Chain A
Amino acid sequence: MMISQRSNVMIRVVLPQHLRTLAGVGREVTLDVAGPVTQRAVLDAVEARYPMLRGTIRDQVTQQRRPLVRFFACQEDISQEPPDAPVPEAVVSGKEPFFIIGAIAGG
């Protein structure tokens, strides 16, 4: 729980190609996230910095993750974690990035 009490940490976020193009950024962005550092807090920070990404990762009204978007961290799929659960310590410390992935689907 100590992790969740931290504030203003720098989080690395890796975006999928289409969202990089849309936001006009490279593969990885660094965001100042106010604690507690949860999935929701990371996504709030992404959308605050890059408002053109609103609605592309999660629904703008329900805040539900889009069905073909996944969140990975530390070699694990954390997509099903509750949005207010803390993200792994390695993400909070900046050692590992928070990956936003477009599912491998379609042709």
Chain B
Amino acid sequence: MSGVRVLVGTRKGAFVLTSDGKRENWDVAGPFFGGWEIYHVKGSPVDPDRLYASQSSSWFGQLIQRSNDGGKTWQPAGNKFVYDGVPGTHQWYDGTPHPWEFKRVWHLEPSLTDPDVVYAGVEDAALFRSADGGQTWQELSGLRGHGTGPHWSPGAGGMCLHTILLDPINPERIYIAISAAGAFRTDDGGKTWQPINRGLYSKYIPDPTAEVGHCVHRIAMHASRPDVLFMQKHWDVMRSDDAGANWREVSGDLPTDFGFVIDVHAHEPETVYVVPIKSDSEHYPLDGKLRVYRSRTGGNQWEPLSSGLPQQDCYVNVLRDAMAVDALDPCGVYFGTTGGQVYGSADAGDHWTPLVRDLPAVVSVEVQTL
């Protein structure tokens, strides 16, 4: 392990931050695709020089960019995302039927085994797959077609498929999450899907324990134990020990359990990180203090981590795709804010420093351990 590359998507371009294994000094490259919204940048686990980026704008739509040299140069890939068959309708904010319309790609998840295979989570919610390095895209339409699709409705940010977790042990198993439909799982490579929302309680929907309709913000897993999932829901931090079949709340002693990000330590499957946000109507930290909370017990008991983070007058948000960990020892933890800071900790969260302070609003953060 010689270093770390942090891939940052922002409202006005992408940035690539690099450092050696000490993670003390950072080189900042970018902006790439200046002026465009970069929802996500992620590298292939099997070929770290192969990166994919989601580039979009309200004016010119969606593009997919691909790099074969670790982000130094980029080439446009395919951007034709067409829903399979007749798209049908989902629920609009007011409960009326609304046609499925492609808007943008929120999340790109490269395959764990093949650098040319990559999944895309899109708005309006659907999952696409490319087997040719992003040149062409095919919808895995069993997700939208499994039965509850007409009842899905958008969250405040749009009806986005924002989380894709590939099971490193069972290649046929994929978890996804949609705001505000909930979490789903396939056990046959994406042909058929089932909702996995039992145990979630959402008091803001008519039936708080409904099969679908929950505003899941993010799900995380540890690669060694893919049946154990951690979820940051709109409100509530949740845990499942049976691949999503049942969930239980592990918010415990958090000062607020609203938030967006959640991630798991690279070497300690029971160590989990969240960034509590005051409420769904005030998207900023409690009391103007930016704090990461860490649980070393798989939830319920949480400790605030604040060393190096602003502890007064801080009113940024940390969006759902904006936290990641590296695989070095000790584990590095990184997150980006809507204020344009990317913070990193080279000691599993005990101490934090800004890698860069004044980027555009950060939408996503991914880390490659090189």
* Residues in A lying within 8 Å of B, measured CB to CB: 16-19, 22, 52, 54-57, 59-61, 66, 68-69, 102-103, 105-106
Contact = CB atoms under 8 A, between A and B. Distances in A.
A69 B60 contact: yes
A56 B61 contact: yes
Nearest to B79: A55
B60 A66 contact: yes
Interface string B34-61: 0110000000000000000000011111
B60 A19 contact: yes
Interface residues of B, number: 13
Contacts of A103: 59
Nearest to A59: B61
16 contacts: A17-B35, A18-B35, A18-B57, A19-B60, A52-B63, A55-B62, A55-B63, A56-B60, A56-B61, A60-B79, A60-B80, A61-B80, A61-B82, A68-B58, A69-B59, A105-B58
B76 interface: yes
Interface string B271-307: 0000000000000000000000000000000000000
Contacts of B60: 18-19, 22, 56-57, 66, 69, 102
B61 A55 contact: yes
Contacts of A105: 58-59
Q: Which of B60, B76, B79, B80 gathers most chain A CB within 10 Å? A: B60
B59 A55 contact: no
Question: Dominant SS at the B interface?
Answer: loop
A102 to B, nearest CB: 5
Contacts of A17: 35
B59 A68 contact: yes
A106 B76 CA distance: 25
A19 B63 CA distance: 11
Contacts of B36: 18
A43 to B, nearest CB: 14
Contacts of A102: 59-60
Given A54-B79, A57-B60, A66-B59, 5 more contacts: A18-B60, A54-B80, A55-B63, A60-B80, A66-B61
B82 A18 contact: no
B85 to A, nearest CB: 13
B57 A55 contact: no
Contacts of B61: 55-56, 59, 66
B367 to A, nearest CB: 28
Contacts of B63: 22, 52, 55-56
Nearest to B76: A52
A17 B61 CA distance: 15
A102 B58 CA distance: 10
A87 B60 CA distance: 23
Contacts of A60: 79-80, 82
A44 B14 CA distance: 30
Contacts of B82: 60-61
A66 B63 CA distance: 14
A17 B76 CA distance: 17
Contacts of B35: 17-18
A64 to B, nearest CB: 11
Q: Which of A16, A17, A22, A59 gathers most chain B CB within 10 Å? A: A22
